[in-house]
Structure 1
Amino acid sequence: MRALSMPAEAPSLADAVAQAVRDGVAAGELVPERTYSVYQLADQLGVSRSPVREAMLRLAEAGLVEIRRNRGFRVLPPRAHDVEEIIEIRLALEPAAARKAALRGTDAQHAEIRSALDAMAAAAARGDDASFWPADRTLHDLLLRASGNARAAAVVDRLRSATALLGPPTTARGRTLTEIHAEHEVVVAAVLARDGTAAEAAMRAHLEATGRLLIAHLRP
């Protein structure tokens, strides 16, 4: 196995292992035709086998690896179809949630949403990807929770994790952080104005644009 390295920061060891594998795939250090051992990966990354197994389960759910019983795992090339499915599910959940967040969200929830958008704006102004994407994720989570559907928030969080493992963020394929923030700003403005129809339309437009860029990157 070629040299892999853990990212400098990650929410958990399993997240760090998953990112190390994804980076290894992107760099050509892990290739589809080989089967890799969980034990070898754990030793190389300097972690126990438990976070490696958890990472493999996440990667398998995302469609990036195939787990081979008693043998290890095999890398699968990312497919546009995987992203299409994820975006389709998010489109079924998030536009409607944005509408409900506008109509049903409390003033306190709206203030949290505004704060998350401000954090995105500040990160975009600094060109700070490391701060921007967690703020983006927080904003989507807050909108879903303000709609009153915590289960949908959990589903979308898992889907976003899967999308992150399938390829680079859309800033690598045609959008700047400032442009992505602007798409969210339209959503939040509608939510704060309690305009459910506009919030739903803005969220749908944002997700469709994101999907197009991600899918274009994965298609040959």
Structure 2
Amino acid sequence: MFKLNPHAIKIPATKDICIQVSAEDKVVGPIGKVEAHMRPLTLHRAFSVFLFNSKAELLLQKRSAEKVTFPSVWSNTCCSHPLYNEKELKDEKFEGIKSAASRRMGQELGINDIPIEKFNLVGKYSYEAIMDEIWGEKELDYSLILKNYDDLNFDKINKEEISEIKFVSKGSLDKMIKDGQAFSPWFMMFYNKGFLQKWWDDIEAKKKTTHDYGTIYKLD
């Protein structure tokens, strides 16, 4: 379990409304972002973006020390939540999730206006991760791949969200983990369960990852 984050003692002043879902990913209703992440945790929709460049290197972000949940750890390119609004609730062709991912890529990394058709949904995953006595994550996570992204401008990174970024090869990532660098629990679940390896292999082989939208894989 992570140590209690001093930034978590003060309740964050966010008005974001997340999407509470059942274990089968059926919409239950709206839930405040703070409420969803306070114990006892509530299952809600989320997404994880994995962006690769043309050399098949993965863009990692280090979460800011100001983050309420899991601060100062490395993670995948972007992780967040669709909001409970008409646009991001859309189920057709997973437009809502992809719209939310495009929005957050701009807000966090300054990579604006990514067309939603560029996001390849590679699966749905559920997990729970306890951080401390107050906070944690309980998410039904849509994993999205972006590939062949080069010449990106990172001048507008949101420092309240991200403290550091870097592209890594598979070997470099393995070394970071072996050396004991801290990663988010969901990232390590994707890594340890072999999902990230499979996606990476497909990208290196220039194959499109196949997926089963009817299955929700349990990570924890």
TM-score normalized with structure 1 length: 0.29
Q: Larger strand proportion, structure 1 or 2? A: 2
Larger Rg: 1
Alignment TM-score, normalising by the size of structure 2: 0.29
Which one has a larger percent helix, Structure 1 or Structure 2? 1
